[in-house]
Amino acid sequence: MIYLDYNATSPCDPKVVEAMLPFFHEKFGNPSSLHSLGQEAKKAIEESRKEIAQLLGAHEDEIFFVSGGTEANNLAIKGVVSAYEKKGKHLITSVIEHHAVLNVFKTLEKEGFTVTYLPVNREGFVDPDDFRKAITPQTILASVMHANNETGVIQPIEELGRMARERGVIFHTDAVQTVGKLPIDLERLPVDLLSASAHKFYGPKGTGFLYVRRGIRFIPQILGGPHERGKRAGTENVPLIVGMAKALEITLKEQPEESQRIQELRDFLERGILERVPEVVVVGARAPRLPNTSMMLVKYVEGESMLLNLDFAGICVSSGSACTSGSLEPSHVLLACGYPHEIAHGSVRWSLGKWNTLEEMKEVLAVFPDVVEKLRRISPFGKEVIHHV
Ligand SMILES: *Cc1c(COP(=O)(O)O)cnc(C)c1O
């Protein structure tokens, strides 16, 4: 099996599993319990919080544990909007956000807020000038993702965050695709809230954290006990939190070297495909991009057909976003870049990670051109492409 879908999820590092194991059975206490077993668990999550904060240049009291990227985004946006709604009714986001952001804004629109959805150019990049023009005295919150999960394009959040700060607008970023892949220093980076998810950086699924800068208020969205300093109720998921901290520690230690190695593999794969398969476009090729991601549009074929044929050959990829894979709608991100439906349908996303090898890339290059050729032969556009080539 060749796994090239790391932007959808990553396997746990075995060292992460090892770190988690004692907390399922031996050290199983409830962190809210006052006895020693409980306090041992409490200590473990507080050490994890400290570790995560240190790795990202944050303070411990700025890290809130949640169930993953989706909850972090929901809590950030709904929590801030509830806390500041008296100040204004205008919000800003982008058209390429993950559905865990977009659908929150859609709901807020129904509740009477006005939302500006920033467009992107052909490369999938948000223009800072559009952001500047969108800010009004009514704007209370802006949320623009750090890197897009489908294209890997890195957004200018430093510039956007700075503009937001100058105008008194709170700035949130969905950094689920960048935490672990890019160095992040929250002491320097002008963002107020940041979402992360452990399973995207070799940690377990079902856990993540929201960073909230000191001084920024938010209203809790899950009510109950006083967990997470009263901001997110529910017994803490001790093993997963311990695993997440371990995963972040390992990933960031390996990151500089791994980024380079993975980028070389990605570029080798990309170049190889462009040389062997005609009529392929790499989305965001001229924009700053994550080192591990390549979103390709393969004309005259359907993404789903490529995905299934590759799966049959033991190669796991994604077509568009994992969330839209079950539906017939092409990815909202590719449509937002201005690609027509029929071209956006022919998307295949390669996303690499730390267990990929050069041998695997060669294997893909041996299989993929034949897959495309076969599909183009039976496609209704087949004759057209032969004509073009
Ligand atoms: C995966 C992902 C999410 C959702 O995170 P979960 O932990 O799976 O809920 C949100 N945003 C982006 C950009 C993602 O890639």
Phi–psi pair at 172, nearest 5 degrees: -115, 145
- Going 21 to 31 to 228 to 99, the CA torsion angle's sign is positive
**Cα 68 to ligand 1 centroid, rounded to whole Å:** 7
**Cα 9 to ligand 1 centroid, rounded to whole Å:** 9
Residue 91 Cα distances to 130, 138, 373, angstroms: 14, 8, 46
Name the CA dihedral angle for 182, 183, 187, 191, rounded to a multiple of 10 degrees: 0
pLDDT computed for residue 379 by the predictor: 78
Identify whether residues 240 and 297 lie together within a single domain.
no
Domain boundary among 194, 220, 250: 250
Identify whether residues 236 and 259 lie together within a single domain.
no
- Pairing mode of beta strands 280-283, 208-212: unpaired
Domain boundary among 231, 250, 269: 250
* CATH at 43: 3.40.640.10
Identify whether residues 106 and 208 lie together within a single domain.
yes
Identify whether residues 42 and 121 lie together within a single domain.
yes
Residues forming a β-bridge with 294: 350
Q: In 3D, which of 73, 144, 66 has the Cα closest to residue 104?
A: 73
Identify whether residues 287 and 214 lie together within a single domain.
no
Note whether residue 8 is domain-resident: no
**CA–CA dist 34, 187 (Å, integer):** 34
Domain boundary among 204, 230, 250: 250
Ligand 1 shell residues, CB under 6 Å: 68-70, 98, 100, 145, 149, 174, 176-177, 197, 199-200, 208
pLDDT computed for residue 388 by the predictor: 45
C-alpha angle 368/371/375, rounded to 5°? Answer: 145
Note whether residue 3 is domain-resident: no
pLDDT computed for residue 186 by the predictor: 98
**Cα 70 to ligand 1 centroid, rounded to whole Å:** 6
Nearest CA to ligand 1 atom 4: 69
pLDDT computed for residue 252 by the predictor: 97
Identify whether residues 246 and 321 lie together within a single domain.
no
Give the ligand 1 atom nearest the CA of 8.
1
Give the ligand 1 atom nearest the CA of 198.
7
**CA–CA dist 16, 386 (Å, integer):** 50
Show pLDDT as tens, one digit a residue, over the chain (389 residues): 999 999 999 999 999 999 999 999 999 999 999 999 999 999 999 999 999 999 999 999 999 999 999 999 999 999 999 999 999 999 999 999 999 999 999 999 999 999 999 999 999 999 999 999 999 999 999 999 999 999 999 999 999 999 999 999 999 999 999 999 999 999 999 999 999 999 999 999 999 999 999 999 999 999 999 999 999 999 999 999 999 999 999 999 999 999 999 999 999 999 999 999 999 999 999 999 999 999 999 999 999 999 999 999 999 999 974 444 556 688 999 999 999 998 999 999 999 999 999 999 999 999 999 999 999 998 766 545 544 43
Identify whether residues 223 and 298 lie together within a single domain.
no
Identify whether residues 266 and 364 lie together within a single domain.
yes
Residue among 197, 323, 351 whose CB has most ligand 1 atoms within 8 A, to mutate:
197
Identify whether residues 63 and 162 lie together within a single domain.
yes
**CA–CA dist 285, 345 (Å, integer):** 19
Q: Is 280 exposed, middle or buried (0-12, 13-18, 19+ CB in 10 A)?
A: middle
Q: In a 3-state reduction of DSSP, which class is residue 226?
A: coil
pLDDT computed for residue 362 by the predictor: 98
Nearest CA to ligand 1 atom 14: 176
**Cα 197 to ligand 1 centroid, rounded to whole Å:** 7
316 is catalytic: no
Identify whether residues 171 and 317 lie together within a single domain.
no
pLDDT computed for residue 386 by the predictor: 45
Identify whether residues 342 and 324 lie together within a single domain.
yes
Q: In a 3-state reduction of DSSP, which class is residue 173?
A: strand
Identify whether residues 77 and 193 lie together within a single domain.
yes
- Which DSSP symbol is given to 92? E
pLDDT computed for residue 328 by the predictor: 67
Instruction: Please count the structural domains in the chain.
Output: 2
**Cα 174 to ligand 1 centroid, rounded to whole Å:** 8
Note whether residue 218 is domain-resident: yes
State the pTM of this model.
Answer: 0.96
- Which DSSP symbol is given to 142? E
Residue among 6, 10, 143, 149 whose CB has most ligand 1 atoms within 8 A, to mutate:
149
pLDDT computed for residue 174 by the predictor: 98
Note whether residue 2 is domain-resident: no
Marked catalytic residue, from 12, 316, 323, 337: 323
The continuous run of DSSP H or E covering 364 comes out as helix 358-378
Give the ligand 1 atom nearest the CA of 200.
1
**CA–CA dist 330, 348 (Å, integer):** 11
Residue 251 Cα distances to 1, 173, 199, 233, 283, angstroms: 23, 20, 12, 29, 27
- Which DSSP symbol is given to 59? -
Give the ligand 1 atom nearest the CA of 71.
9
**CA–CA dist 349, 368 (Å, integer):** 13
* Domain extent at residue 196: 14-250
**CA–CA dist 67, 205 (Å, integer):** 8
Note whether residue 4 is domain-resident: no
* CATH at 368: 3.90.1150.10
**Cα 246 to ligand 1 centroid, rounded to whole Å:** 19
Note whether residue 69 is domain-resident: yes
